[in-house]
């Protein structure tokens, strides 16, 4: 029973943090590229995430998880850099740049979430799925209530940059098998 709760809580926390991060980035992008484009990119990311979840769940032994962690970590750090850069810059109207950037973030988040959720599902599928569903429901509820929309655009960039960096750095550490404090696993769990 305790183990199922740990898997449930870890899946919930992981999906809530990662999904919340994408929601914050999505709200910032919504202002730039419009509702339709943001929704389209989000749905593509969701479809990729679902497809990859089943792929990783059924073929997890064929993927070197440490290389996936390193690649995801580097990608997340790159997008963290772009968020910090945008936070420090003045406003700009380059719609294509935001569309492409959000597309890559959505795909990276889909890959990261699907690998993590597949890993948790191998431990206990019911707890992992229920934790993820609850986290997604909470994010959708916060979006519906408009709580996330009230955050100023500059602040969303800063928060996104911090969340992307805080997620990317541990993934690189896990992938490189560098010793780390145990509490880091509770904050950002490894994919393996």
DSSP code of 176? T
Contacts of 189 (CB under 8 A, 6+ apart): 10, 13, 14, 116
Q: pLDDT tens, 33-63?
A: 888 888 888 889 889 888 888 887 787 677 7
Residue 159 CB coordination number (10 Å): 18
| 95 band by pLDDT with thresholds 50, 70 and 90 | low
Contact 41, 103 (CB under 8 A): yes
What is the structure's pLDDT at 94? 63
Each domain of the chain, given as residue ranges in start order, spans: 2-187
> Minimal CA–CA distance to 53: which of 157, 2, 129?
129
C-alpha torsion sign, points 31, 35, 40, 45: positive
Contact 116, 189 (CB under 8 A): yes
pTM: 0.65
Contact 11, 128 (CB under 8 A): yes
One-character DSSP codes across 92-131: ---HHHHHHHHHHHHHHHHHHHHHHHHHHHHH-HHHHHHH
Q: pLDDT tens, 108-159?
A: 778 777 877 777 787 678 888 998 899 889 888 888 888 877 777 677 778 7
Contact 7, 124 (CB under 8 A): yes
What is the structure's pLDDT at 180? 92
Res. 92: pLDDT tops 90: no
Task: Read off the tokens for 121.
Answer: 């599902």
Res. 23: pLDDT tops 70: yes
């Amino acid at each position: 029973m305790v183990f199922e709760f740990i898997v449930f809580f870890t899946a919930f926390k992981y999906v809530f943090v990662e999904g919340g991060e994408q929601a914050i980035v999505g709200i910032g992008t919504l202002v730039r590229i419009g509702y339709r484009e943001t929704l389209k990119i989000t749905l593509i990311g969701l479809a990729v995430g679902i497809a990859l979840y089943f792929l990783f769940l059924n073929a997890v032994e064929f993927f070197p998880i440490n290389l996936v962690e390193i690649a995801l970590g580097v990608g997340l750090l790159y997008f963290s850099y772009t968020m910090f850069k945008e936070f420090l810059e003045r406003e700009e109207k380059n719609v294509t740049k935001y569309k492409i950037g959000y597309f890559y973030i959505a795909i990276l988040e889909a890959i990261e979430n699907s690998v993590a959720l597949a890993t948790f599902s191998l431990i206990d599928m019911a707890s992992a799925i229920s934790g993820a569903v609850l986290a997604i429901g909470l994010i959708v509820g916060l979006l519906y209530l408009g709580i996330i929309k009230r955050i100023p655009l500059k602040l969303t960039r800063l928060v996104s940059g911090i969340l992307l960096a805080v997620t990317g750095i541990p993934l690189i550490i896990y992938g490189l098998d560098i010793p780390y404090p145990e509490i880091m696993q509770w904050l950002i769990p490894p994919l393996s």
